């Protein structure tokens, strides 16, 4: 899990650390309090994919149609992170 306080606070070795963790088979998630666009940019800077969601999309009644059919557990497993937490 990667917890990010602010986008400017990424350590110089963060991307390399995430890359190594992914190579070792770790399931890495980005958890960020900022907006979704910032979360996706953080993911990009860390070398991760951009399938990141705000919690209301995952758990709320207004789930996006493209993910509404997926069980919440599967969606969480497939997501690379969550923004607006």
Phi, psi of 53 (to 5 degrees): -135, 150
Query: pTM of the full predicted structure?
Result: 0.73
Distance CA 37, CA 69 (A): 24
- Reported for 55-59, long-range contacts at CB under 8 A and 24+ positions apart, including other chains, are 55/82, 55/84, 55/85, 56/84, 58/82
Q: pLDDT truncated to tens, each residue of the chain (85 aa)?
A: 555 565 567 888 889 999 999 899 988 888 888 888 988 988 898 888 878 888 777 776 666 676 777 788 888 888 888 888 8
Find the distance separating the first CA and the last CA of the chain, reported in whole Å.
Answer: 14
């Amino acid at each position: 899990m990667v917890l990010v306080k602010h986008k400017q606070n990424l350590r110089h070795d963060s991307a390399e650390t995430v890359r190594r963790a992914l190579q070792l088979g770790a399931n890495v998630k980005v958890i960020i309090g900022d907006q979704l666009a910032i979360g996706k940019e953080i993911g990009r800077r860390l070398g991760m994919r951009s399938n990141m969601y705000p919690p209301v999309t995952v758990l709320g009644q207004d789930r996006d149609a493209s993910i509404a059919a997926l069980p919440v557990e599967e969606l969480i497993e497939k997501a690379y992170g969550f923004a607006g937490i």
